[in-house]
C-alpha cells in the first residue's frame, strides 16, 4: 500500500522527496527511502535526482497501471476499500493518502464511494444472511447523491413507498442497514435492506447534512437498539471449551464477568467453567436462547430465567417423551 501511494504521488506531483513521502506515509525518512529504492529494484521506472530541488520521479513522466485509473475504476477501488475502514485506523489512513494522490476530478466521487459503506463485525446473535441484491444499487445512489423511492416493509408488516435521501449503509455481520433521511420526517432513519422490496433511483440530487458522520450515527442506532433488546440478562457458568461458540451466538449480548475457572458443582467430574452474562429482550427470550446450551452451561440466575428454562424443559418432555 505504501508503494502504491508513492507511485500515485510521483505521478500527481511530478517529483517527491523521501522526506515528503515520509510525511505522507507517516513513517521515517529512512523507511520512505527504502520504499523508493525497492520500487526501482522491482523494475518500476523511477529514479532519484540529487541536490537542491531534487527528489524521485517517474522516468520520462511514465504512467503506471494504477495511476491511469478511470473514474469508474476509482469508484470500484474505493468501494472495496471503504467497508473495511470503519474499525481500522490503518485502513482509514491508507484511504486518505490514496484520495490525496488521485486526480482532482476523481477525488469527490472516490471519497463518496469510500464513505458509502461501513462494517460492524459484532453480531446481534442473528444468523448470517446472504448479501441483498439491492446493496449495489443503494451504493450507487449514495455515491450519486440521488434520492430514491423504496417499497419498504416495516417490522409491523405494513408496506408502502417512501422517498428518502440515502446517506450510507452498514454491513453488520451479514445484515445490511440503510441510513437515510425520509422526505416526510426530520432526521435520519434506519432501514433494514432485506425489508426493501424494490427501489427506484430518481434524478433529484440531495445535499448531505452538514457534519453527518456515518460511524457516529450508527453508534447511536446500536446504543438505542441494545437498550431495547438487552433488557434481561442472566449469569451463566459456561464450559471453557465452548466459550467461543456461545460468545459468537450472543454477539454483543455476551460478556465475561469472571475469567477465573470454576470447578463443576460436584467438584469431581466435568469441565471447568467461566462466569459470563448474556442478555435478550425478555426472560423468555433469554431462556429460549440458553436452552440449546444446557449441556455445556449452567444458569446461576436470576430465578425467573431458571424457572423459564425448567418450563421449556417440561414442554419438550411433554412433546417428545
Residue-wise pLDDT tens for the chain (321 aa)?
A: 566 677 777 777 778 888 888 888 777 888 888 888 877 776 667 778 776 767 888 765 544 444 455 555 555 555 544 444 444 555 555 555 655 655 555 555 555 555 565 666 555 555 445 778 888 888 888 888 899 999 988 766 666 788 999 988 888 767 889 999 988 777 888 898 988 988 999 999 998 888 888 888 888 887 777 666 657 889 999 988 888 888 888 887 888 887 666 655 545 456 788 899 998 888 998 999 999 898 889 999 999 999 999 999 999 889 887
Residues of the chain with CATH 2.30.30: 120-212
Compute the 3-state secondary structure of the chain and give helix, strand, coil in percent, each to the nearest 5. 45, 25, 25
- The contacts found for 137-140 with CB under 8 angstroms, 24 or more apart, are 137/199, 137/201, 138/166, 138/169, 138/178, 138/193, 138/199, 139/79, 139/113, 139/169, 140/201
What is the predicted pLDDT for the residue at 112? 59
Q: How many CA atoms lie within 13 A of 135 on its CB side?
A: 18
Of the candidates 139, 162, 244, 115, the residue with the CA atom closest to the CA atom of residue 131: 139
CATH 1.10.10 holds for 2-108: yes
Instruction: Quote the cell numbers at residue 320.
Output: 417428545
CATH of span 120-212: 2.30.30
pTM: 0.48
> What pLDDT is recorded for position 83?
46
User: How far is the C-alpha of 30 from the C-alpha of 38, rounded, in Å?
Assistant: 12
Residues of the chain with CATH 1.10.10: 2-108
> What letter would DSSP give residue 126?
P
Q: What was the pLDDT predicted at 65? A: 44
* pLDDT for the residue numbered 320: 87
Residue 231 contacts residue 285 (beta carbons within 8 Å): no
Confidence (pLDDT) at 231: 76
User: What pLDDT was estimated at residue 116?
Assistant: 63
The pLDDT tens digits of the residues spanning 9-20 come to 777 777 888 888
Q: Which residue has the cell 449514495?
A: 142
Look at residue 84 in the predicted model and tell me its pLDDT. 45
Class of domain 230-320: alpha beta
Kindly list the distances between the CA atom of residue 68 and the CA atoms of 7, 57, 94, in Å, as whole numbers in the listed order. Answer: 11, 16, 19
Measured between alpha carbons, how far is 78 from 199 in angstroms, rounded to an integer? 24
State the span(s) of the chain assigned CATH 3.30.70.
230-320
Return the number of other C-beta atoms located less than 10 Å from residue 138's C-beta.
Answer: 25
pLDDT for the residue 310: 93
Q: Write down the pLDDT at residue 101.
A: 56
Neighbour order of strands in the sheet with 273-280: 254-262, 273-280, 232-239, 297-301
Amino acid at each position: 500500500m505504501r508503494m502504491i501511494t508513492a507511485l500515485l504521488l510521483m505521478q500527481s506531483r511530478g517529483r517527491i522527496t523521501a522526506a515528503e513521502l515520509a510525511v505522507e506515509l507517516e513513517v521515517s525518512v529512512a523507511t520512505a527511502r527504502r520504499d523508493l529504492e525497492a520500487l526501482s529494484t522491482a523494475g518500476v521506472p523511477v529514479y532519484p535526482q540529487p541536490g537542491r530541488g531534487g527528489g524521485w520521479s517517474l522516468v520520462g513522466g511514465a504512467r503506471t497501471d494504477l495511476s491511469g485509473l478511470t473514474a469508474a475504476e476509482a469508484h470500484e477501488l474505493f468501494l472495496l476499500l471503504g467497508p473495511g475502514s470503519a474499525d481500522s485506523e490503518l485502513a482509514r489512513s491508507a484511504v486518505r493518502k490514496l484520495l490525496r494522490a488521485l486526480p482532482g476530478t476523481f477525488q469527490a466521487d472516490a471519497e463518496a464511494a469510500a464513505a458509502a459503506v461501513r462494517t460492524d463485525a459484532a453480531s446481534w446473535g442473528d444468523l448470517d444472511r446472504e448479501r441483498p441484491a439491492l446493496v449495489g444499487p443503494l451504493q450507487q445512489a449514495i455515491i450519486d447523491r440521488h434520492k430514491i423511492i423504496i417499497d419498504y416493509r416495516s417490522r409491523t408488516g405494513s408496506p408502502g413507498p417512501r422517498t428518502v435521501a440515502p446517506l450510507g449503509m452498514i454491513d453488520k455481520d451479514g445484515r445490511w442497514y440503510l441510513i437515510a433521511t425520509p422526505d416526510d420526517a426530520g432526521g435520519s432513519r434506519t432501514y433494514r435492506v432485506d425489508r426493501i422490496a424494490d427501489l427506484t433511483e430518481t434524478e433529484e440530487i440531495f445535499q448531505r447534512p452538514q457534519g453527518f458522520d456515518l460511524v457516529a450515527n450508527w453508534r447511536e442506532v446500536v446504543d438505542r437498539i441494545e437498550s431495547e433488546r438487552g433488557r434481561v440478562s442472566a449469569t451463566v457458568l459456561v464450559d471453557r471449551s465452548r466459550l467461543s461458540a456461545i460468545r459468537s451466538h450472543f454477539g454483543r449480548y455476551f460478556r465475561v464477568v469472571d475469567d477465573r475457572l470454576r470447578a463443576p458443582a460436584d467438584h469431581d467430574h466435568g469441565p471447568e467453567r467461566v462466569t459470563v452474562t448474556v442478555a435478550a429482550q425478555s426472560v423468555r427470550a433469554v431462556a429460549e436462547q440458553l436452552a440449546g446450551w444446557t449441556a455445556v452451561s449452567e444458569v446461576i440466575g436470576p430465578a425467573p430465567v431458571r424457572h423459564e428454562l425448567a418450563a421449556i424443559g417440561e414442554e419438550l418432555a411433554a412433546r417428545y417423551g
